Amino acid sequence: MLNVMRLRMLCELHRRGTLAEVAQALSYTPSAVSQQLSLLERETGVTLFERVGRGVRLTDDAVGLVAHAEAVLARLEQAESELAAAQPQIRGTLRVASFQSVVVELAPPALTLLAERHPQLRVEISHREVGPAYSALLSHQFDVILGEEYPGLPDEIRVGVDRADLVRDRLCLAVPATGPWASVPTVLADLRAAPWALDPADSPTGAWGRAVCRAAGFEPPIAFENSDPLLQAHLVSSGHAVAFIPALIAGRHQGGVQLIGLPGDPHRTLHTAVRDGRAAHPAVRAFRAALAEVASERAAIPVARWLDDA
Per-residue pLDDT of 26-79, as tens digits, reads 889 999 999 999 999 999 999 998 888 777 889 999 999 999 999 999 999 999
113, pLDDT greater than 80? yes
Asked whether the beta carbons of 174 and 257 are under 8 A apart, the reply is yes
Specify whether the CB–CB gap between 268 and 166 falls below 8 A. Answer: no
pLDDT in the model for residue 40: 95
Which class is 4-83 in CATH?
A: mainly alpha
Domain with CATH 3.40.190.10 in the chain: 89-168+268-298, 170-265+301-306
Is CATH 3.40.50.2300 correct for 170-265+301-306?
no
Strands 196-198, 222-225: pairing kind: parallel
Range list for CATH 1.10.10.10 in the chain: 4-83
Q: How confident is the model at residue 251 (pLDDT cuts 50, 70, 90)?
A: low
What is the dotted CATH code of the domain comprising 89-168+268-298? 3.40.190.10
- Residue 254's pLDDT band (boundaries 50, 70, 90)? low
Rounded CA-CA distance 55/17 in Å is 6
Give, in degrees to the nearest 5, the angle at Cα 48 between 47 and 52. Answer: 100
Alpha helix (H) residue ranges in the chain:
4-16, 19-26, 30-44, 60-85, 100-105, 107-117, 130-138, 204-215, 229-237, 247-250, 282-298
Q: Are 268 and 167 in contact (CB under 8 A)?
A: no
Q: Looking at residue 129, what is its pLDDT?
A: 83
Task: For residues 164 and 302, give the distance between their C-alpha atoms in angstroms, rounded to a whole number.
Answer: 25
pTM of the model as a whole: 0.85
